[in-house]
Amino acid sequence: MDSTPLRGNAVLPDPRLVVTDLDGTLLTSHKTVSAATVAALRAARDAGLHLAVASARPLRLIESVLSPVVLDLLSAVIVSNGAAIVDPRSKGGPLHEVAVSADAGGDLIRVLRRRWPDAGFGWEFGTHFACDPEFLTLTRTETILRDPHPDLVAAGPAAPVHQLVMAVPGRVPRDLVDVVAAALGESFAVTDSLGGVVEISLARADKGAAAHWLAQSLEFSMDQVIAFGDEHNDLPLLTRAGVGVAMGNASAPVRAAATAVTTSNDEDGVASFLTRAVLSGARPVRT
């Protein structure tokens, strides 16, 4: 499958920052980064572009699928759907974060448990993940992309958290997103990243807002950002970037919102677009 023609006819200013989603985008279906993609990322970095990953995963789960070679190419990592930005080479705290207070996190759990009494809840804080006993039990029977530890089990968060997650036995998270969002109101963003959980963060914490903060910190405009994604939680990123590129395997709403569509994640879609539209000397365009 070839990348579709870019839409529109305005020239994008010199691209300076590439921000890519991870699962379903940079990663293949086998959760690896292909040699062709690594080569394209290295070429982009060597050409002077800054690179960043934006994922629903926390940093430790990003590090579990990205090799040190890839991590070393990145200027920053946007974690937990935009709730924090970290330097993958630094052992310090986040460069930027938008956290849910412990009290608000506890209130969210109480509101949602009234609606789903058998739900389990977990929360990302710093470099760790904690959860309630119900969530720990669900990880043994449901397919959940989180790594709870028996020593970090509690009724609710005791400190600010980047993201709250909810799992309901026998329920598909995507089917719960709209209902959870309605229950919590406009102050919170509710997403599903195919990790077996509904993800909840403050409304101002999304991949697009995080990319904007990162671009500003590097003294670039969002018009100089090229972004890649495949799912609903990538929409704020793709629509704010100068060029938003949907993967060939992206959902229909993502493809419709994108400036361009590249090949799938199993066909080196990120590498294909960067090589054809950026590294070749051609300039992508936006609507």
- pLDDT by residue for the chain (287 residues), tens only, comes to 444 545 543 346 689 999 999 999 999 999 999 999 999 999 999 999 999 999 999 998 999 999 999 999 999 999 999 999 999 888 778 999 999 999 999 999 999 999 999 999 999 987 789 999 999 999 988 888 888 888 899 999 999 999 999 999 999 998 999 999 999 999 999 988 778 899 999 999 999 999 999 999 999 999 999 999 999 899 999 999 999 999 999 999 999 999 999 999 999 999 999 999 888 865 555 44
What's the CA gap between 10 and 210, in Å, rounded?
25
| Closest to 150 (Cα-Cα) out of 137, 163, 164, 167 | 137
Which is nearest to 166 in space by CA: 191, 186, 141?
A: 191
Q: How far apart are CA 251 and CA 277, in angstroms?
A: 22
Q: Contact 37/271 with Cβ under 8 angstroms?
A: yes
- pLDDT for 228 equals 98
Q: Which domains does the chain have, with CATH numbers?
A: 10-97+206-286 (3.40.50.1000), 102-200 (3.30.1240)
According to DSSP, the residues that pair with 229 across neighbouring strands are: 246
254 and 281 in contact (C-beta within 8 Å)? no
Which residues are CB-contacts of 83 (< 8 A; sequence separation ≥ 6)? 97, 98, 99, 124, 162, 163, 201, 202, 205, 210
- At 66 the pLDDT is 97
In the prediction, which pLDDT does 285 show? 53
Secondary structure of the chain in HEC code, one letter for each residue: CCCCCCCCCEECCCCCEEEECHHHHHCCCCCCCCHHHHHHHHHHHHCCCEEEEECCCCHHHHHCCCCHHHHCCCCEEEEHHHCEEECCCCCCCCCEECCECHHHHHHHHHHHHHHCCCCEEEEEECCEEEECHHHHHHCCCCCCCCCCCHHHECCCCCCCECEEEEECCCCCHHHHHHHHHHHHCCCEEEEECCCCCEEEEECCCCHHHHHHHHHHHCCCCHHHEEEEECCHHHHHHHHHCCEEEECCCCCHHHHHHCCEECCCHHHCHHHHHHHHHHHCCCCCEEC
At 47 the pLDDT is 94
What does the pLDDT read at residue 283? 58
pTM of the model: 0.88
The amino acid at residue 26 is L
